[in-house]
Amino acid sequence: MPPLELSDSAAAEELAVGELEVLGRMHYASNATFLARVRNNGAEVAAVYKPRRGERPLWDFPNGTLCEREVATYELSAALGWGLIPATVLRDGPLGEGMVQRFVDHDPEEHYFTLLDQHADHFRRFAVFDVLVNNADRKGGHCLRSRPDGGILGIDHGLTFHPAWKLRTVIWHFAGERIDPVIADDVCRVAQLDATVVDPLTPLLSPLELEAMQQRAAELLTTGTLPEPEPGYHSVPWPLV
């Protein structure tokens, strides 16, 4: 089937320019979330569409910015070559501008807690990534195993890149561990605000948010270890899955 043969970069191109058709609303989502498909030149990509105007206002994140934060997580993962986030773009659609992300075909019974034992090294990279993006809502159900290739991917990244420390995650199994040197080399690119990392993020995040990301990367390199949960802070999301 054509959607499964597309690389992430090719899928992102199709998501950006193809005809976007809404198929139905996805239940149990905090914000307006729709299953969709994107067609272009014979290719078809199953997608998730979250229009900006369907975002629920939050007290601690600027209104209407969650879709941009979702795209920013994809751009950062792609720039680092980590492949943790499905192809994601910001574009217009039937319900206005929003985030459009490649749909991950997965087993809904699987999640972080069921996948951890067999994919621990992959989740170590996720743990570092969540610090870099300051993920305030890493639930277990936000970690999926793609049926086509078995890759582990993360979804639902609207609550990211806040300049204040807000890490809330279920991925605490590796707290205090030394960061792999290969991963640390990539973190260096973030700490140095390498142009290949920063340029794709600049239209999506504020200068303050970029500076805070740089500081988080520098702190990871200084300590050399993954952070521990902070005493007295609500370090895990709810529900856990």
Global confidence as pTM: 0.95
| pLDDT (mean) for 101-127 | 97
> Is there a domain that residue 38 lies in?
yes
Res 3 pLDDT > 50: no
User: In this structure, is residue 235 part of a structural domain?
Assistant: no
Determine, yes or no, domain membership for 186.
yes
The reported pLDDT for the residue numbered 28 is 83
- Mean pLDDT for 17-23 is 97
Return the pLDDT at 29: 85
Residue in the block written with tokens 């809330």: 168
Residues 170-205 pLDDT 10s: 999 999 999 999 999 999 999 999 999 999 999 999
- Read off φ and ψ for residue 153, nearest 5 degrees: -130, 155
Residue type, 165: W
Q: What is the pLDDT of residues 118-166, one digit of tens each?
A: 999 999 999 999 999 999 999 999 999 999 889 999 999 999 999 999 9
pLDDT band per the 50, 70, 90 thresholds, residue 12: very high
Whether 1 shows a pLDDT value over 50: the answer reads no
- Domain count of the fold of the chain: 1
| Distance between CA atoms of residues 133 and 135, nearest Å | 5
* pLDDT at site 5: 65
User: What residues pair up with 169 in beta bridges, in sequence order?
Assistant: 138
Residue 16, SS3 per DSSP: helix
Q: Which amino acid is at 220?
A: L
The model's pLDDT over 81-95, given as tens digits with 9 standing for 90+, comes to 999 999 999 999 999
What is the rounded CA–CA span in Å between residue 155 and residue 183?
A: 21
Residue 240 belongs to some domain of the structure: no
Give the residue-averaged pLDDT of 3-17. Answer: 82
Residue 72, helix vs strand vs coil: helix
Domain presence at residue 183: yes
Range of the domain at 51: 2-223
